[in-house]
Structure 1
Amino acid sequence: MSGVVASHGVTGAQDAGAFLVRLTRLDPGAVVRLRSYRGRTDLWAMLPWNVLVSRSVDGEGPGDATVVAADLLSQLARGGRSLPARRDADWRWGLPPEGARSVERLPAAEVRRIAAAAAGTLRDASEHGVGGQPVGARALRDALLDHVAIVVTTDSTERIEISQRLVQGVTRMGFLGGRPSSEESDLSDVHVRVAGRWVGLAAPYGVAWLPAVNQLGLRPATPHTFG
């Protein structure tokens, strides 16, 4: 007796496709985890620089399943409904807990500027070295990604550090949207979120997450500053 072919259950093909195209460009062999809830499906993936990214799309989804991202993209591109071969054992990462809270709002233009400055620094150092001395590309990239790009400080002196890894996550996955505008609205702002020991950047089209550098008892407080 033939088995029933499972459906991926994603109806927001355009949104899912945008996520998967970016992901597979960065990592052709990436896997994506689909988790469903109340008529929506969250797509989760790990980027090559160890940042967890997520986008919510329309569709009942398959419940909870991990597949090869390129296979799911192929299904969506041809209008297929079948869930690709499951690769649940290939998902090796935890997820942030529910109940994330926003502790600061950053202008999207500032996040774009920080990302562009990092790209320029990497390009310049790759061409000219540091202090006139050559630097290995991998070591240079890792040092740049680990750089703390933004520090959010609450009035109770708590510090939330946002590394360049998160900034690159939201920008290179296209979570900020299209071309920057000189009058970007509040809807395009990026929110700093905290969920348990995780810190995230939530942009209009997706979220990037990393475990917090320090185990801090963070709580929202006003006013907030960042620098």
Structure 2
Amino acid sequence: MSAPVAGHGVTGAQDAGAFLVRLTRLDPGAVVRLRSHHGRTELWARLPWNVLVSRSVDGAGPGDATVVAADLLTQLARGGRSLPVRRDSDWRWGLPPDGARSVERLPSAELHRVAEAAAGTLRDATAHGVGGQPVGERALRDALLDHVAIVVTTDSTERIEISQRLVQGVTRMGFLGGRPSSEESDLSDVHVRIAGRWVGLAAPYGAAWLPAANQLGLRPATPRTFG
């Protein structure tokens, strides 16, 4: 980690603000953890569906501090440099270890498609039920989030399941950006990464992480397969 600086130490206010705006829309009371890393600041947060998301922004950062996301957003919006009241005890989650390795690349257009299909399924099921029977929206949402949307098979034959939770993490946080043109497709690809027991999607504007089930001894599934 870099040496801490006075205040929040974030100079990439636009990028940090984009992260915080999305985060606070999804969870107005969310906390964000700032970690200094090689002269930049990593922003970490946990979404309501238990996915960790991160974005690296300019600025040396405060070292390692947790604050209320809305308070930091207010500071950045007015050009303030002070670190909001620390809430370090409110951060209760582990982070993926360093040394993540990329095992596959996915087209961002595919993740857009998967996310949109899930949203359509939720709308239809909420309106018409499942098998003619009404189902609560929350139960439907939880079932969709747990659905395995993509399976990646690595060169060493590991089966890595990408759940809808991760897909929703990168799409709803805006990490994919807009739909790329054919010339931009390679730059907008999303990398599937493994770090210890964690599985992540690293998109152009941020990453989403979730602990893998059974240490990558994953269940059979019937989604689209890559690799």
TM-score by length of 1: 0.92
- Distance in 2 separating the partners of 1:34 and 1:217: 32
Q: Which residue is 1:72 aligned to?
A: 72
Q: Which residue is 1:144 aligned to?
A: 144
- Deviation of 1:38 after TM superposition, in Å, equals 1.9
2:22 aligned with 1:28: no
- Distance in 2 separating the partners of 1:130 and 1:20: 36
- Deviation of 1:155 after TM superposition, in Å, equals 4.1
Task: Mark the runs of 5 or more structure 1 residues left unpaired by the alignment.
Answer: 219-224
- Deviation of 1:156 after TM superposition, in Å, equals 3.6
- Deviation of 1:6 after TM superposition, in Å, equals 4.3
Aligned residue-pair number: 216
Deviations 1:58-117 (A, max 9, x none): 001000000000000000000000000000000000000000000000001001100100
Q: Which residue is 2:180 aligned to?
A: 181
Misfit runs of 4+, over 2 Å: 154-157
Amino acid at match of 2:162: I
What is the root-mean-square deviation in Å for CA atoms of aligned residues?
1.6
1:16-165 to structure 2, matched below 5 A, reads: 16-165=16-165
Deviations 1:157-196 (A, max 9, x none): 320000000000000000001x313424211000000000
- 3-state SS in 2 of match to 1:188: coil
- Deviation of 1:154 after TM superposition, in Å, equals 2.5
| Contact 2:31–2:91 (Cα < 8 Å) also in 1 | yes
Identity of aligned residues (%): 88
- Deviation of 1:217 after TM superposition, in Å, equals 8.0
Amino acid at match of 1:89: S
Amino acid at match of 1:153: T
- 3-state SS in 1 of match to 2:89: helix
- Distance in 2 separating the partners of 1:158 and 1:132: 38
- Distance in 1 separating the partners of 2:135 and 2:44: 33
